[in-house]
Structure formats: C-alpha cells, structure tokens
Structure 1
C-alpha cells in the first residue's frame, strides 16, 4: 500500500482517506522563499544512513530509533518515522546529515527542518499523551563526525495548532488527489486499444506485459522493430494499474527518441486529449459541486510528465541557481503552489507544456518538473532517474512507498549505462587546471591531493597498471578537498571557477563510487591507471553493474525490459542483476525473410592486421551493390580511421557514388544534416561508426534507407582495459570472451542492421563483411526471422 494515495479506512469506515508522509506534507506546506543551490550538497544516501546510525549509537540504551508515528486529520492520514526519541528526557530528535557550517544554511531550509520536527513532535504528544516535549534538530557533520543540536521545549497545544495548520494547508490538495485517483482508475479501466487491430505479434507482446505486471514479475522481451513495442507495452501497463493498485508508471529510456515515441504512443491512447478535456472541464465547472462534476462524466485523464536533462531545461545557463542571480529562482517556492496547480490542471506535461506553465508563473521549468514528479501518474525520462546513484524517481518511490511499474525501453543499453553510472575517474588534467587557479584557501588541500597523486604514480609505473586495491590515501585527500571546497562555497556566494567546480564534482563522484565499490564483490570493479603522454587517469571501472542495479529492480512492483536486441537472455540477467528465473520471451516478427536479403562477405577479414588489404574489396562490394540498386545506404565501421580509409578507397574506385560521413564530434545540427541526406528520392552511402549515434534509435523507413554494410564484428577494441574486463568476466561467469567482446559486439551489429527494415512494406539488403560471420555460434545471434546469409565470393 502506498504512503501517498487513497485508502479505505478501517473500523468499518468507508470514507476515502489520503495518506501522506510527514516529509512530503512539510515539503508541500512549509517551503517558502528562493530556490538556493549554493549550499554544500547533501551526503549520499549511504552516508546519511551511516550518520543516523552514529547519532543513535551515542544515545543511551533507552533511546528509541526510527519511531513509527501516525495521526489523522479529516481525510488525511499523516505517517512517518521519527529519527529518534529519548523517553527519559522526553526529547524528539530530527537528525540531518550534512557538510559544513550550519550557520550558512538558507533560512528556508532550516524552517523546513523545523516543520518536520514539529509535526513528528505533535504526533508523539498524541501517541504518548505528553503535555510538553523537547524538540531537537540534530545536524551531524559527516566529515567532522560532530553534532550541532538546536533544542526548543514546546507545549502539546502549540504543536497541535501547528499540525492542524499544515493539514489545513494540504487538505484541499489531498481531496483533489483522491478525486483524481478515483477518476484515473475509471479512465484506465475503460481504456481501449486505439486501433482496429493489433499489429502481428503486438497482441502477444501486450498480453505478456499485462500478465507480468499482474503477477508481479519482471520480464525480458526481445521484440523486433516494427511490432509497435512502445504502444504494445504502454497500453497493457496502463490497463494493469487499477487492478494492481499501482501509484506510478515510469517509462525509462536511454535515448531522446525513446521519449518522443512514448509521448506519441500516449497521445495515440488519448492521454493528451483527456488531459486537455480535463483542464477545459475544470475551467467550465469551477463553481459546480462534486456531484455535478461526477454526473457530467468528464473524468480527469492520466497526468503525464516528460523529464529532460537540466542543461537542456535551464533558461539561464549563464546564471547561478539562487535568487540573487536567477530571476526564476527568486521567490520560487512562493510562486510554486500556483504553478503546481496549473500544472496538474494541464495534465499533459511534455517539455514544451511544462516550460509554458513554468514561465507563465516565473519559475524554473526544470525544478517545476522535479516537483511534478510527485504528482504525475506516468513519468517519461532517462534511465538515470531510476538507476543512478542519486536517482530522483527511485528516491521518491522509497520516500512515498509507491507501488510502481517500470518500462525499460532499449534495455540492452542498460549494461553500458549501468557501468557508466557506477564508475568514476580522477583525470590529472582536470585537477591540474583546478589547482592552477585555485584560491589561497584551497592551497593546502590541493597540495596534499597532488602529493598523494604523484606518490601513487611513482609507486605504479607503466602505461597501464591495474591496482590490487583502491588507493585509500588518495581517496582520503579527495574527501578533504571536497570538504574544503564546500566550506569555500559557503563563504563565497558569488560562486567559484568552472575548472574548480568540475574537479569538485569529480571528487564527490569518486568518493561515492569508492564507497559503493567497497560494498560489492571486489571482482565487480577495476581500479586502474592509464598514462597518455604526460597525463594520467585513475579510473574506478564498474565491470558488472548487477549487484548495484538489483535493488532497483526489487523496489519496483514489476519491470518490463524490452529491446530488439536482448539476446542471449542469460547475459543480460547476469549483467543487470535480474533474478535467474526472470522470463525471456522473443516476439514473432511482423517481417518476412523475403523482405531482407542477407549477404555474407566471408572472403574479407576486417581484423586490425588485415584492414589495409580489406579496403579495396569493401569499396568494390559497396559500389557493385549501389550500381545494382541505386538508393540510400548506411555503411558501418569499427572506428573513424577505418571509416575514412574505406571512404577514400570508394571515392577512388567509384567516384560517381555519392557519399557523406559521420564526423568525430558532431553538433546537433550536423547530425540532423547527416540524416537529412536520406530522402525518399536520394541516392548515396552514409558512413558511420558502429555503436555510435547512427547505429540505433534512428528511423529511415521506405526508400529513405534500402540497405546497410556492416564491416566489423562489433567487437570492442583489444586493449589492456578490455582484457582486464574479459579476465573478470571469465572469473565471474566462465565465458570471458563472449561476455566482454562477442555479445556486446553482436548487439551493435544487429542494431545497426535493424535500421533497414522498419515496416512490413520495406525491402532491403544487408552485407555482413567479415569471415567470422560464417561461424555458426555467431549466426545464432542474428535475428531468427532473417533469411540464411548468402555467401559472396567476390
């Protein structure tokens, strides 16, 4: 049962009630003033838990830790866990872990903390029949391991008045939410599939998703492009929400195109129109009573929110995030209530709609989006929002005890994304830049950090060194550097130089990852040093994200992972931390083998040692195919160097064949220009790097793309890092080569080739260029609907 939401009260009372956590209540009612991000960042969740445990351990045996409290007011049930209570002194404690001087804390943040403490104290007075109680804010500095305690003695009567005031401030919103939840359930129960019939294979897909959510099981789905995966997963997931009493549905993707497709699917399902109808109806019936509202039958739609990255949502990137600098941060919390109400009335909050609401109320669109994540039924965003070390949606789910289902789009990307989220690096160049221009107050911590870094390099010579244990002295110096920069930021409200800020963020990430690495099997991490010229980098590489991702899957009611390339199933279970019995299903393809010619150029080797010899044969093959059937093609290579060499060879061999190429660093406009060349009447070959921005997530149907050349097996580069990864995989899974090289490589190949056939009407050709494609174990990793490859001998 969720902490927030409608419930039926016990003792025969059928009155709907709304549960709200103490923290959520106070964040709604007690925040005022500016948005201010100058204060030092909060500790990690792990550090916070450890800090609370330290404080509790310092109290006597009679001390009660994490006391569950609950109280009612009207339709509200207010519930939470007080950090601690001393029954001898009759003191309730609200513990906040932090860094730096508490005197520098913004006043509105301190007021929020007091509000939480006073609500807990009011509930404690009710439960223990106390007439007075000591209320204490305990600020615990995780760096100094010191407490700063603020205490007030308060009477039960004044605390009750405060509690009632917070509830009165929230009660109208709670009643609105109760009505919305009831109407949402009716809307979703009546939701119909928007088309006359399902696409081939789409019904089986939808039925599998509905069954998995209804039985609270995770599910891995391999479904080809063209089956309608996005609509085929969203529709059954929404239908399952009322019956499973789900609070939220999170659609998570690794690519911007995934967000766009999810919004299009929800629009097809009528969600956007339903929200617009709801907003119009509310305006029209603003003065009618609830009974009249129900009779008219205009039920609220499903509230939908699109979350985008902060750097893309920020209106004033040149300004700092506080009221003295940014006008959208000034008075943010004072204007938030009206903006929040307008946003729920809007209901459909894609990026454009959310921005319009925010700017009409003169507040920051990004942070309005963060707030609306509390109140929207379907949230669409990057996988980071659930799986990252500081994932917001995961944190909200735990805070509110929501029941949520996850839809993970293009789930094959989660392996590499997981490694990146749980990895970090110390880049010598970034810290050298910070050290050059650092203020005097940071000279000592930076000098100490630099000494430890140089000592580490002297101890470990060579271009590549894999460390047996993490360098604790360096990590301790990094921790002191983080504390010193935090203290400086408190004393320097105008901000600090960008190079120093970058180094500070890097140092904090290293500290977080080092802490996490210490909690898992050592074999799941690599600590290594790479030298390039005069510079060096220390990397904390996550090898297998499974133990860190597994708790995130366990926190969800059910998770549906889907992709066109999610094979073999055991590889993804092992890498992602899914249970061994997690079902893996492959959906039948809507395509036929006759739509796609698959040719195998087994007489060509694309191995590094053979590349020079492969240039002319590949150019001849490409030219021959183009002349046989002029049109648009994509050609994929393992590196930019290889791409450029084949491009030159093709230009020399067949200068009449138009060609264009992916550049090493492309702006968004340049990417658009590359794709714009693929017109319905166009002709030519676009050169791209396998596994890059054009290897998946692009849609070029019909004559916009009629073929692809894949001149590589997709294997990762052979280097000391990947060989170490292979060795770790061998130890963990007994199949190092396949786990480190073959399975990821073939996923890239199939994704790239999947750009060709996008609909049942498409016809195309694929050339697999490498003798290793002849091997049976590799051909088993190709899509089952493909025709058997035809060998090219010339």
Structure 2
C-alpha cells in the first residue's frame, strides 16, 4: 500500500471537515432509516418512469434518427483519484440519482425529513449540498463537463410530498470546493501518511515478541497469514496454551504492513478477552510495533451520564461536541497508540466530548479495532460507517468463535409480549388517544394469537409441517403454537403503532411514560427489522404465559446471515480452543467446503494432568436427587490429596446448591464458595479473588457449567489445581432447543447433536480448560456422568484427553490422584 494514497468516502470527508455544533441524538424517529430507504426507492422509480415516458414522447414527435439522451440512473457508484499537493486522494461514494437530458446533467441527492417542507430552503443543511457537489464534480471530471446541476430532493415522510432545490455549478467552482475540503483534510492526510510509513517500518522490523514459538503457534500464524493473503476463511481449533491471540494478531499485523489489509477487527464476546488483546498489542509494542489500537465500549457503559441522554440540554459533553472533537482526535492520535476505555474517558473528559461518539470517530483512523461481535454482525447496531460502503480489505479475527452460535441466534431473533401493549394502552389513553387505539388493535390481535396456544387451531394446515411438534407440545400442556408462516396480520398494526409513536415522540420531548413508550417502540422496531430477514432459516412461535402471550421470530440457523455479514471483510479467522466437532461449527457459522480448517494439538505435556472418568453415576435430571451424597463423596476424594484451589461445575443452579449443602454439612473442614445467579462485576471479582496461590488451605468453589467462571478466566501458576465436572453440560430442556432439534432432524438427521449434545460438550471442554493454562501448571480433571463412557461422547474428546482413566469409586479416585501428585 503506497503511503501517499489516501482513500476516503465522500460522506466521511464532508462530515469530518464541515461538522460543527452540538451532538444531538434526541428522538427523531428511528424507523427513519427504513422509511428513508423506501423514500429513495419511491422517488427513484418516479424519476425513472418520468424520463422513460418523456423520452418515448420525444422519439414519437421528432426525427427518430436524432441522438436523444433522456435517462435516469439510480444508485450510481462514483470513484475518482485526485492528485492534490503531494497526495493521491481516492474519493468514492454513491449518488442517489443522475439525470441526463441531452447535454444537461443533474446530480440528485435524496433526503427524507419530517420537518414541514415550507421550512426547508437551500440553507437547511449545508452538508447535503456538500455531499452532492462532490458527486457532481467527480461525474463532471469523468465526463468532461463544463457545467452540471445539483438537486436536493427533500421527501417529507409524514405528508409524502417532495420539494426539489436545484443549483447550477461550473466545474471550476466545484473543483475549488472539493480542493477546499482536501486542503482542510491535508493535516489528516499528512498524519495518515506519516503514520503509515512509521507503522509499516515498525511492522517490517518487528520480531515475534517471545523468545520462541510454542508448539502449534507457528503453524497457526502461518495458516492465518495465508488465509488473509488469499482472502478466504479459516476455522482454527487451537487448544489452551498455544497463544491464540498472538498467533492470530501477529500475522494479521504483518499482512497489514505488506498492504494485504487496511484494518484488523478483533471480535470478542467477553470484556476480559479485550483486555488480553490490549496486553498482546503492548507486548508487540515492546518488540518494536507502532499500531493504533482502539477498544470500543458499549454506549451505556462508557457514558458519563447516569442515563444516556445525548442532547445539549441534558449533557455538557453533547453541547458543542463537534466544535471540539477534531482537536481531541488530533491530540490522542499524537500521544497514544493503545486507546483503551480508560484512555478514551480521559481525553473525553478533558475536551468535554461524548466518549462513545469519540471512540467511533477514532475507529475510522485506527489500525486495529477491538470490539464485541455485535459491531460486525448484529443487523441493528453493526458499524455502518465501515461496512455499508461495500467490501473493504478488512480482516475479522473472531475469538472464542464457539460463542458466536448462540449470540448469532440472539442477534437475528426478536420477540414481543402482549402485556407490554396492554399496559401501555392504559396509560396512553388520555395522553395520546391515537397511540392507545393502535395499541388496542395490537392487543386484540394478540388475543387471537393466544387462542392458537390454547389449541383452537391445531388442526389447521397453516402450521406448515409443525403439526407433530405442536400436538406434542399441546399434550405436554406447554401452551405453545409454532408455525413456519409469518404472523403477517400483525405487521401493519405494528407499523401503525410505530408511526403514531414517532409522531408523538418527536413533538413531545419530555412526557410522562416516555421511557415506557420508547422501550416498546424500539422493541417493535427490532421485531419489524428482523421480520425483513425472515426466510426458511426462521420459525415463528407463540407461547402463552399465564394470561400473557409471547410472540417470537426465532432464528433456527444463523449460518446464511453470518455468511452474508462476513462478506464485509476480505478474510475471516474463526478460532477457539473448543471448535469441535469442526464440521458442526463450520456449518452453523456459515462455512463452506472451500473454507480452510486447522486442528492443532495442545502444547502441554499430558503428564501434567490427570483425567479421570467416573461413569457409574447418572446425573440425568430424573436421577439427580439420588446422587447428591455420591457426588459430594467424589468431590472430597478429588481434593483430599493436595491442598489448593478447586472448581466444581454443575449443569444447573439447583443441582449445585443441593450438592453444596450436602458437601458443606459432611465436610465442614474445607473452605467453600458458591456462584450466585446474576452476579455483578464486583461480585465476580471477589469470587475470583479467592483463588490465590499458597493459601495454605483447600478452597472448593462451586460454579455452573457455561457460566462466567467456566470460560474466559485465567487462573495460572497453581491458582487452580483441579476441576470436577458434573454432567455432560446439556442445555436445559426448553422449547427453543426442541424447535432447533426438530429443524436439524429434518435437515441432516442430527437434531439432538446440534441442539443439545455439541453445545453441552463445548461447555465441558471449556470448563476443563481452566485447569492447565501454562506449561508449568499441573492439575486433575474429574468427569462425573455415565454418558462420558459412551462412544458418542468419547468421540468428542480432544486428543489431549488421551490417555484417561475410568474410576469406579471414591477410593479409586483418591488412589489415582494420590499417585499423580506423588510423581
């Protein structure tokens, strides 16, 4: 990548240079984007029809041999390289429309508004004109025009009327304007060029930040680099200890230095992982790397206000935000390389600017962006400023990719409850009668849906192949109704409510029950957006809960939507210690037969751990009541030989609590702690703070499989010397799991495996992975469940779980562990 080439979109250039004043995110109607798109399409069709008819009339009325140009082209991509001073600026964007009538050309920019059109004139928004003028100049230069028109078409979403403002420009005038923008951007262009030179030299000279590669580390790094170079997708199972963060980040940075990619997105599911990435970049910094890295934090977690209120009246950081933000960007980029949450907050407070918006601006200029999965995949919140302009040379490094399965299902699903509409209707009756009437119609519709749950329509054909499962559910008295078809009759009612709510909220800033109205409005908006994605990978279901009814669009198989979202990057690297079975994860995470995969062996010696399987105990739900005493005895046997810290994992809170009570009563000499449901961050830190090396006494910590302590924690250096895992980790029996099972049974005859077995075993593998974290660690792992002795489960064991030992009693456990610690 040549350092004097600067690529920037028209929109980003215009907004970065010309923005000013307050940050104001007060409610303006968040379905505006959807309606704005429809407004664009409506006007574009009108133009196309109009000019097509006009051309036909002229052809009929005049000499048909004359060359007549009357046409309208919508969504025209424009891209041009401008040499300015010592830079080549590659400027690109998309014009809403281009009108050609003989020799006259007009660039049309469509903007949707709710403000009455009589209050809109040519001074309404200078940024609208600026953007259109840039498109006009690019088109004019490329078509050798000396004059061109610019038209702003304002479409009022409430009245469905249009106001068009037109100005004519000589090409020299437009050139002066564009070069004014480029001149204003010159500092940032210089900074970007100088930084890229400095960064790329540092990358070239950077050595691997450790003395030597661990076993498997070089293999993973080579696979990542090759995948980026080829612009493909890699699924990598890399056991604990290989060093997945450095093994994926190091080759990605090297690829950036060679111009193969322009930005790294490191995507995670957990906050603790983001800290690990920052620490890894610091280590590469010690090895000579210069890299601008930013960590994005959710708005509600980084906001200075107790309640996020992005408007200048309520927040001093919103008032004048755009007047100060560029100076803040200039200073932070000059002084900092790693822009963590704490660093962002420090500069935001200094310049009195919004930390969240500040971080989004910095992401545009950063080399590496560390953020949650949502920012790349969630259709509601993904970073449009990066991903809506077409494919770019990005790489997605997707850490702990096994978590993306359930997270993706959540992102692509949506639900509504009848009670929300009924309760809000009661309070809005006097305040906003129109909204109350809209809510009443939705409530009535959902009353009809409730009857489906009560079995009144199970015999109808509309359930589209779900008759068997519906009948089974009814027999089990689960009050559920499932159908493949959408509940389309409610869509116009939801849109009506959204429209009434928007009109009310834009006119009534601070009213009673505003928060409840906003919350329901956003829930409805989410539901209607997800409905637009609906296809054969979804199902609809209704569930009666007492007098209430839940209506949900449920994503059964997120593979297609993930595959499409992954096209936002040049290369995709999905990695985890527990990406097994590989074929399952490749299928469910949007992989194809052309994607690469690699399975790496653990770098740790099997001599450092003892794996025991107690397969004479059934922990199935129906047997659990009879196992409390036996499980307690087995835990005692596992911890009795060596003083230290142990974790015991259970498939549910209730099972854990019963065994905890039994163990504490029988063996009061041991220190015990237990995980509570919904622990806040401070409570989690206190829990983990108990795991200190050299306590002088044994600690037994009771926790839940799949919870916050079964993955993502790093208890090195003898802070944890053993784990007992009770059960095979099956997700709790539930309606949604059963629906997933039914779907995959029909698709590939692997419903139980996809819905229960594989997700459950993944939890077990993650929990077991807490024990050995470095080459110096030693520890024991005890698996308690008869199913661990079955071939189907043994086939899911990773290679490092061999050899293992089957134990038949508490004494057998104690003897084996005693021998292990004596070695």
Other-structure match for 2:812: none
Other-structure match for 1:515: 532
C-alpha displacement of 1:47:
6.5
For the residues of structure 1 that align with 2:119 and 2:443, how far apart are their CA atoms?
29
2:751 aligned with 1:742: no
| TM-score normalised by the chain length of structure 1 | 0.90
C-alpha displacement of 1:54:
3.1
For the residues of structure 1 that align with 2:563 and 2:44, how far apart are their CA atoms?
29
Is the alpha carbon distance of 1:104 and 1:240 closer, same or farther for their aligned partners in structure 2, counting shifts above 3 Å?
farther
1:55-454 equivalences under 5 Å are 55-59=43-47, 60-61=51-52, 62-69=71-78, 70=80, 72=82, 74=84, 75=87, 76-88=89-101, 90-97=105-112, 110-128=125-143, 130=145, 133-140=148-155, 146-156=160-170, 158-270=173-285, 301-318=290-307, 320-345=309-334, 346-393=336-383, 395-399=385-389, 401-438=391-428, 439-440=431-432, 441-454=434-447
For the residues of structure 2 that align with 1:738 and 1:632, how far apart are their CA atoms?
33
| TM-score normalised by the chain length of structure 2 | 0.87
Moved more, 56-65 or 423-432: 423-432
C-alpha displacement of 1:98:
6.4
C-alpha displacement of 1:567:
0.8
For the residues of structure 2 that align with 1:773 and 1:697, how far apart are their CA atoms?
24
What SS class does the counterpart of residue 516 from structure 1 fall into? coil
**Any idea what the Cα deviations from partners look like across 1:61-108, whole Å, max 9, x if unmatched?**
311222343362513343322110111274321123567867899999
For the residues of structure 1 that align with 2:744 and 2:164, how far apart are their CA atoms?
52
The answer to whether the 8 Å contact 1:696/1:751 transfers is: yes
Other-structure match for 2:59: none
Aligned residue pairs: how many? 751
For the residues of structure 2 that align with 1:598 and 1:319, how far apart are their CA atoms?
50
For the residues of structure 2 that align with 1:573 and 1:629, how far apart are their CA atoms?
41
For the residues of structure 1 that align with 2:774 and 2:44, how far apart are their CA atoms?
62
Other-structure match for 1:537: 550
Of 6, 10, 18 in structure 2, the residue corresponding to residue 30 of structure 1 is 18
The answer to whether the 8 Å contact 1:626/1:657 transfers is: no
What SS class does the counterpart of residue 364 from structure 2 fall into? coil
For the residues of structure 2 that align with 1:709 and 1:178, how far apart are their CA atoms?
55
C-alpha displacement of 1:655:
2.5
For the residues of structure 1 that align with 2:275 and 2:294, how far apart are their CA atoms?
12
Of 582, 604, 607 in structure 1, the residue corresponding to residue 617 of structure 2 is 604
Is the alpha carbon distance of 1:545 and 1:44 closer, same or farther for their aligned partners in structure 2, counting shifts above 3 Å?
farther
The answer to whether the 8 Å contact 2:422/2:439 transfers is: no
Other-structure match for 2:460: none
Is the alpha carbon distance of 1:728 and 1:608 closer, same or farther for their aligned partners in structure 2, counting shifts above 3 Å?
same
The answer to whether the 8 Å contact 1:27/1:112 transfers is: yes
C-alpha displacement of 1:411:
0.7
1:632-781 equivalences under 5 Å are 632-682=645-695, 683-781=698-796
What SS class does the counterpart of residue 389 from structure 2 fall into? helix
Is the alpha carbon distance of 1:37 and 1:166 closer, same or farther for their aligned partners in structure 2, counting shifts above 3 Å?
same
Moved more, 713-722 or 225-234: 713-722
What SS class does the counterpart of residue 374 from structure 1 fall into? helix
The answer to whether the 8 Å contact 1:104/1:490 transfers is: no
For the residues of structure 1 that align with 2:750 and 2:526, how far apart are their CA atoms?
31
What SS class does the counterpart of residue 663 from structure 2 fall into? helix
C-alpha displacement of 1:768:
0.9
Other-structure match for 2:632: 619
Is the alpha carbon distance of 1:240 and 1:481 closer, same or farther for their aligned partners in structure 2, counting shifts above 3 Å?
same
Is the alpha carbon distance of 1:325 and 1:102 closer, same or farther for their aligned partners in structure 2, counting shifts above 3 Å?
farther
C-alpha displacement of 1:204:
1.7
Other-structure match for 2:817: none
C-alpha displacement of 1:747:
0.4
**Any idea what the Cα deviations from partners look like across 1:551-579, whole Å, max 9, x if unmatched?**
22223221111110001111111111112
Unaligned runs of 5+ in 1: 8-15, 275-300
For the residues of structure 2 that align with 1:432 and 1:409, how far apart are their CA atoms?
42
For the residues of structure 1 that align with 2:164 and 2:325, how far apart are their CA atoms?
29
Moved more, 86-95 or 607-616: 86-95
For the residues of structure 1 that align with 2:725 and 2:114, how far apart are their CA atoms?
52
The answer to whether the 8 Å contact 1:51/1:97 transfers is: yes
Is the alpha carbon distance of 1:189 and 1:108 closer, same or farther for their aligned partners in structure 2, counting shifts above 3 Å?
farther
Root mean square deviation of aligned Cα? 2.5
Unaligned runs of 5+ in 2: 53-70, 456-478, 810-823
The answer to whether the 8 Å contact 2:263/2:368 transfers is: yes
Of 456, 464, 474 in structure 1, the residue corresponding to residue 480 of structure 2 is 464
The answer to whether the 8 Å contact 1:690/1:749 transfers is: yes
C-alpha displacement of 1:158:
4.4
Specify the structure having the higher radius of gyration (Cα): 2
Moved more, 556-565 or 199-208: 199-208
